[in-house]
Structure 1
């Protein structure tokens, strides 16, 4: 996570990477760059709290070997629950949460289509949990830069030039290799 002041807007800008999430009640923006990953932007408009996650893989099925919470967030099932629970802890209410989903692009034709699995997981999660999906920009072949303003709920998406797909794909492949070789650990309650 990288925190800085955006010179154009004069507000705190928090950049998150795969496996990270950030929740705020302040006038801040959260941003990330997505390839096949998914980012969920979630907020409670009444409580004025919201955040964003960034996950690479849909689910970790071996929940018996959980030890480090930050590693767990690489999987959608942990990333979604941790984001929602953090918002609830700061005063949000489940019935008021609004979701916006981004990413899941197939940025390299030679890669497995993990993006579609991520999209399927994200939609299944939102609808199974009874949350309201208010916006989406998912699928296709583009990487994306997403900037989210939790206070207002505004999200900006820029579809990036495909010339950067190779480096983004290499980063995603390296990330997958790293997470597959490291066990997931942490204390998370999934409900």
Structure 2
């Protein structure tokens, strides 16, 4: 007997550092974050969106080099190209920002600021693109697991020290 729900079961796309995804339909995008940052973008009428997972704010990109999702500015450039393909203005999309934890302490007791620099870059990139930042869960010193539902725009967050459903708060 055929499974009547097989065609509507959501699929999950897992992003590793440096990866990104854009799409719609019954799809979840998931990732794990430490000092890395993820930006989600979602269009509430078109029900499409995407997520990137970047490791560093930027680099000096060599001429003719392909975009690399490990860098925030290049990951955002990729997301903006996908947004343009929808025909909708970037300002109609909603964004959420996650990650940027303080995961690296140096041997002399100081703290590297990779997480903070990634957070600052994410906020800057969204402002430059004219995309409203609807919610964020950034900083701290714990890992985060994210699940972004493209059909609703909800983002679910789990942390090792507690589990929180942020679907309502971050919708």
Q: TM-score higher than 0.5 here? A: yes
Query: What is the aligned partner in structure 2 of residue 133 from structure 1?
Result: 133
1:106 aligned to which of 99, 102, 106: 102
Structure showing greater radius of gyration is 2
Higher helix share: 1
Does the 8 Å CA contact 1:25/1:48 hold for their aligned counterparts? yes
Give the superposed CA RMSD.
2.1
TM-score by length of 2: 0.81
DSSP-derived class of the 1:152 partner: coil
DSSP-derived class of the 2:22 partner: strand
Residue 150 of structure 1: how far off its partner (Å) = 1.9
Could you tell me which runs of 5 or more consecutive residues in structure 1 were left unpaired when the two chains were aligned.
Answer: 1-6, 162-191
Could you tell me which runs of 5 or more consecutive residues in structure 2 were left unpaired when the two chains were aligned.
Answer: 1-5, 162-171
Query: What is the aligned partner in structure 2 of residue 51 from structure 1?
Result: 50
Residue 41 of structure 1: how far off its partner (Å) = 0.6
Moved over 3 A (4+): none
TM-score by length of 1: 0.73
Q: How many residues align?
A: 152
Does the 8 Å CA contact 1:40/1:53 hold for their aligned counterparts? yes
Instruction: Give a deviation string over 1:37-84, Cα, whole Å, max 9, x none.
Output: 000010111122101000000011x23334233xx1111000011012
Does the 8 Å CA contact 1:49/1:92 hold for their aligned counterparts? no
